[in-house]
Every structure is written in C-alpha cells, then in structure tokens.
Amino acid sequence: MTSRSQRFGLAGHGVTGSGVARRLLEAGAEVVVHDPDAAALRRAEAAGAIAAGAAGVLAGAGVVVLCGPSPHAPRAASLLSAGTSVVSLADDLDDVRELLALDHLARRVEVTLLVGAAMAPGLSGLLARSLADQLHHLDELHVATHGTGGPACARQHHEALGRNALGWHDGEWIEPPGGSGRDLVWFPEPIGAHDCYRAALADPLLLHRAFPTAQRVTARVSATRRDRLTARLPMLTPPHAAGDLGAVRVEARGAGPAGERLTLIAGASGPTGELAAAVAAAAALRLAEVGAPAGAHPLAADAVTQLDLLHHAARLGVTVQEFTGVARATHW
C-alpha cells in the first residue's frame, strides 16, 4: 500500500466512531479523526489517533469513514472530488438517496463510495447477500432491526418512525405510513421478540439496488406504543449516551434448485454501536487493501462481493446466527 492508503480518516468519534477507530488502530493503521466536539477529539488522541482540527485534513487519507450524524452526502461529494474513497454509515433515507446519486461523480474520478456501512443498513445487506446466495431464486427480503448506536442514531430512528416508510412491492415503490404494519419479530438472543413497524428506513432502497429481481423488499424497526404515539413529536426523553443492545434479522424467501419454497433467516445481536463499528471498519480495511470498482455501492452489491465483508466483520466482533429452529453457532 502507499502511505496515503495506509492512512484512514474518521469523521465523528462518538459511540460508533470510537469503535471504528479502535479496530483500525488495532489493525496497525494510522487514523486521523475530526469531530466538532473537543472532548471527542481528546478521547481520540488518548486512544492513539491523530486529531484533525479541520475537516479538510481528512482528504489526505486513502479512505475516509463518515460516522457522524447525517447529512453525509455533501462531505462525501467533497472527499470524492479530492480523489478519496469513502465509507458512509448513513442510515437516513434521504441522505442515502443523495449518496447513491454520487455514483456518477465517483466513477468519473475513479474512487469508491460504500453506502450504508453500519448495522442496518450494512450488516443487514451482508446477511441478505449471504442468504440470497444460498437460494436458486430470490423472491423476497425482509429486514427487522432493534436498538440504536448512540444519541444521533436514536434521534434518526425516532424521526424515521414518524415519516412514510419505503418498500418494494411487486415492481413498484410503496410508501405506507410510519408506525404501521405491525409484525412480531424474533431476534437473536438476548433480544428476543419485539413488535416491529414500518418506518422511513434505507434498507429497502439499498437492497433493491443490490437485488433488483426481488419482488418484495421491506424493513421494520422495533417500537413501543409510546414510540409510535410520539414519533411526530420531539423526543420526550434524552437518548442513551452509550447506545444500547441491538439486533438485526434478515429473512430471505425464494426457491431451491428443484423449485421447492425456502425461507432462510439469519441475524446478529450485541451492542449496536459495536456491530456497526465492526462492519464499517471491515469495509474500510478491505477497501484499502483490496479495492473495489469505482462508483457508489451498497455493501450487498455484486460489485463489492470480493471484499468478503461478512467474514471480515465476523473477525472484528460480529457473531452471526442462523434461525434453524434450534440456536447454534455458524461457520462465519
């Protein structure tokens, strides 16, 4: 690698960003961190990272990971224009749309933008790719998530529940109201069962891009009755500063080689910020080491399968479970 490709930039050193930085530093990389919070910069320096007083310094890195609150698209566009590849953890639906729209710019300057590299989207897409590869024909993908990585993530989920959702249904986009479509979902332990509802989540947009032949793609988030009733109001209680335990569950429906109907389910649970950090760090490290085609890509895209991100995320702390009727460890 060149000296530039060995240096990683990190925009945001909160709950998830600090986990990304720790994993990059443990891999022997040089990490430059920018955060508007001076206390966060001091924590980054204490952990062994280089504090950047100006965001523009990050453009000198080979890969920059955007871990802060949305919007990411303007900063990503600036970094791409400077010839820097970007890994974005954005999960805001509008922001993800704008990030995907940077595909032409990324191709023109011959750099890579990985979009949605957190728990959901992110790990959800990697699980979807793994399950889809086990099917002869994929018909449906259904994602459910529980938990938030930090205060910014909690606020975004709160807002998403109060907005129209997005889903792909038999060849067209649908926008049902947020908080509708109750579904009792069983997540990996210790999370267990939770009622989940539609919300303005980015997974359907990214999964449809990666699996255009799937007939139906949905995403739901766990919510209590109070969450649903107050979704269109400011948050009544401050979000947990350190995030909470979370989980993601992906269900793939389709057919086997003989035409038999199959439903495959996989998921993961753990501290939400740590799950997201493992995925983001794996994406950044593999992008720097292996490279990927120029353009804007979701993690589940065919174009980035050579990065083997699920395997490398597992090495960085993600434990994947398959739903087979009896809990058991997997080979990941």
Supply the pLDDT for residue 14: 94
Summarised one tens digit per residue, pLDDT across range 207-262 is: 999 999 999 999 999 998 888 888 777 776 766 666 689 999 999 999 999 999 99
Summarised one tens digit per residue, pLDDT across range 38-82 is: 999 999 999 999 999 777 788 889 999 999 999 999 999 999 999
Residue ranges per domain, the chain?
3-118+276-315, 123-273
Summarised one tens digit per residue, pLDDT across range 11-47 is: 999 999 999 999 999 999 999 999 999 999 999 999 9
Q: Which of 278-305 are b and which e, b meaning 16 or more Cβ less than 10 Å from the residue's Cβ?
A: bbbbbbbbbbbeeebebbbbbbbbeebb
**Interatomic CA distance for residues 21 and 113, integer angstroms:** 19
Supply the pLDDT for residue 332: 61
Please state the pTM of the whole predicted model. Answer: 0.93
Question: Cα-flanking dihedrals φ and ψ of residue 73, to 5°?
Answer: -55, -45
**Candidates 3.30.360.10, 3.40.50.1980, 1.10.760.10, 3.40.190.10; correct CATH number of 123-273?**
3.30.360.10
Fold of 3-118+276-315: Rossmann fold (3.40.50)
